[in-house]
Structure 1
Amino acid sequence: MTTPTFTMGPAILFCPADRPERFAKAAERADAVILDLEDAVAPDAKPAARENVRAANLDPATTVVRVNDAASEFFEADLTALQGTPFTTVMLAKVESAEQVRRVTDALPGVRVIALCETAAGIVAAPEIAAASGVVALMWGAEDLVASLGGRSSRRPNGSYRDVAVAARAAVLLAAGAHGKAAIDAVHVDIADTEGLAAEAEDAAGSGFAATACIHPGQVAVIREAYLPTAEDVDHARRLLEAAKGAPGVFRFEGHMIDGPLLRHAERTLARAPRTETRETP
């Protein structure tokens, strides 16, 4: 069986599904848009939000619909609303098992699922969820995770993640990678903190995340910039791969021993710089 692939990113923007006047602008500004039927929509507004999604004239290739979690009273209605629409990528909130993913794929044959692991149970089950049929990516969520643990905040006063959030982030990335799926980094909720967002997005790109989700259009450019390699990185990668041609196994390049993993890093660097786009070297 062919594993479905994830090609959206790097900047994926959430948009409340009860605000249809924002749909087109969100889609234009980001690499992909997530029409949110879950946390962003009040319970009494959810029926209208579902109709907005059904009526949305957006590109299915760059549109995700986040549905309420499988234990929610809104879950079945969300899935029913998506039947017959062109949208084939669904983000399932608060996933805690592969069985919950199966309920989505059974209701929507051929759907591509982004599993959002944002509870303690979901983080622990991330490997099982990543292996589920139909899953193309895992995403993690910090605030719901800490709330599920009885904590107060995912971040310390200085803005850095608490250790448990760092561990959960790594667990989701590793589970996704182990099963050949993409990983999406969590949103940075402090909209004004562009410096912190840039640092987190650069770390996400460097660690292997495929994309970073965001909640404000102003965060898109910061994320895109962070995911681009520097001109220096691209030049180094090109020279390294050129030097590798015909090299017998492990070889020396500019004082470093080079083997297969480092060549794959170089290939990934070039893949992240289409059309020779780069960012300034820090």
Structure 2
Amino acid sequence: MSTAAHAAPPDARLALAHSFLFVPGDRPERYAKACASGADAVIIDLEDAVAPADKGAARDALANWLDSAEGRAPHVPVLVRVNCVHSGCFGDDLILCHRPGIAGIVLPKAERVADVASASSSAPLFPLIETALGFANLSQITAAPRVQRLLFGALDFQLDMGIHGDRDELLFFRSQIVLASRLAGLHAPVDGVTLDIGEDGPTEDDARYAHRLGFGGKLCVHPGQLDAVNRAFLPSADEVAWARRVLAAAEGARGAAVAVDGKMIDKPVLLLAQRIASEAARKSMH
């Protein structure tokens, strides 16, 4: 039996996840805490968060945790950010990802469809777009088998491109990642991290900005960012109230033209109201 047969089946929760919390792979004492933190998904990081000399120890720590009761049935989907394809660690990381309990593989610096194909596992794949070459090959990467959502590594992308600034300077690239995801039928992509962990304001502002552009989630580097991100990607009380007014008016009109708050309600507006109501129902379930 191939090792791929042991991979975790796709987890439907990942399609709707808003907050993805990184936890260093060499800090196993944080794994369970991360899973109980309120994050929609946890990414155990074997790449940037682990020094080269500690890569093997981090893999061993993760393997031991996956063999534990907590690791076999985590509270939330657990993904692993492996080292990049040409790192020398990729093969060993991938063997570990064949274990039960791994809900997906985060591929850093995904640049070619061959990089994605190298992840020979049945687990869902989450390519990180972090370089100019990866961005240039978006259409091929999104079309690769088992790719579920794109992640945008904005900080590494800025470094690779020599870009200074995170908003207008990256607007084109963010919008193209959203477009490529939509054209490929993928779930909405996940935006990069906010390094400011001192207060909710900057994280929530960044998350709301990403949401307006069409992103469906955000990477987090600290548990203190989770509430801000989860708030940003779910409808506000005002939006829910508006959606309910629209749906009530449309139901009462029985197909006739109707206005709410002085504006005509056409099909796109009605569909938006239905989406907001659906997201609010999901929020109440949590």
Coarse TM-score class (shorter-chain normalised)? 0.7 to 0.9
CA distance in 2, matches of 1:222, 1:199: 9
Does the alignment pair 1:172 with 2:200?
no
2:194 to 188, 198, 204: 188
Is 2:213 aligned against 1:207? Answer: yes
Identify which of 222, 229, 234 aligns with 1:223.
229
Q: CA deviation at 1:60?
A: 7.9
Residue-by-residue CA offset, 1:129-177 (whole Å, 9 max, x unaligned): 122210110010112112212x2x643xxxxx15442222222112112
Is 2:48 the counterpart of 1:54? no
User: 1:32 maps to which residue?
Assistant: 41
- Per-residue CA deviation, residues 36-55 of structure 1 (Å, 9 max, x unaligned), is 01111111111111112222
User: What is the RMSD computed on CA atoms of the aligned residues?
Assistant: 2.3
Matches within 5 A, 1:217-256: 217-245=223-251, 247-248=254-255, 252-256=259-263
Query: In 2 relative to 1, CA 227–163 (structure 1 residues): closer, same or farther, beyond 3 Å?
Result: closer
Pairwise CA distance, 1:201:
1.1
The yes-or-no answer on 1:140 pairing with 2:145 is: no
Deviation at 1:95, TM superposition (A): 0.6
Q: Indicate the SS of the match to 2:106.
A: strand
Q: C-alpha separation between the residues in 1 aligned to 2:79 and 2:195? A: 20
Offset of residue 221 of structure 1? 1.2
CA contact (8 A) 2:83 2:108 kept: yes
Please give the secondary structure, in 2, of the residue aligned with 1:169: helix
Q: Distance in 1 between matches of 2:190 and 2:209?
A: 12
Give the equivalent residue in structure 2 for 1:12. Answer: 20
User: Is the contact made by 1:8 and 1:62 (CA closer than 8 Å) also made in structure 2?
Assistant: no
Letter paired with 1:180? G
Give, in whole Å, the separation in 2 of the partners of 1:250 and 1:101: 49
Cα contact 1:12–1:32 (8 A) shared by 2:
yes
Q: Which amino acid aligns with 1:35?
A: I
TM superposition shift of 1:89: 0.6
> Does residue 92 of the first structure (1) align with residue 107 of the second (2)?
yes
Quick one: structure 1 residues 249 and 138, their matched pair in 2 at CA, closer, same or farther if it must change by over 3 Å? farther
- What is the number of residues matched between the two proteins? 265
Distance change >3 Å, CA 8–CA 23, structure 1 → 2: farther
- Please state how far the C-alpha of 1:14 moved relative to its aligned partner: 0.3
CA deviation after TM superposition for structure 1 residue 251, in Å = 5.1
| Alpha-carbon distance between aligned partners in 2 of 1:60 and 1:10, rounded to the nearest angstrom | 16
Change (3 A) 1:77 1:92: same
> In structure 1, the residue corresponding to 2:150 is in which secondary structure?
strand
Matched residue type, 1:138: L
Q: Which residue of 247, 272, 275 corresponds with 1:268?
A: 275
CA distance in 1, matches of 2:102, 2:255: 48
CA distance in 2, matches of 1:179, 1:63: 24
TM-score by length of 2: 0.84
**Partner-residue secondary structure (3-state), 1:173:** helix
- Give the Cα separation in 2 of the matches to 1:91 and 1:27: 17
Partners of 2:11 and 2:224 in 1: CA distance: 30
Does the 8 A contact of 1:35 with 1:64 survive in 2?
Answer: yes
SS at the partner of 2:44?
strand
TM-score of the superposed pair, with normalisation by structure 1: 0.85
Q: Which sections of structure 2, spanning at least 5 residues, go unmatched? A: 1-9
Q: Give CA deviations for 1:253-277 in whole Å, capped at 9, x if unaligned.
A: 3322333322222122122223665
Q: Percent of counterpart pairs with the same letter?
A: 35
User: Would the aligned equivalents of 2:35 and 2:76 in 1 still touch at CA under 8 Å?
Assistant: no
CA contact (8 A) 1:54 1:85 kept: no
- Give SS of 1:262's match: helix
| Preserved contact between residue 131 and residue 179 of structure 1 (Cα < 8 Å) | yes
Gaps of 5+ in 1: 156-160, 278-282
Structure 1 residues 136, 154: closer, same or farther in 2, change over 3 A?
farther
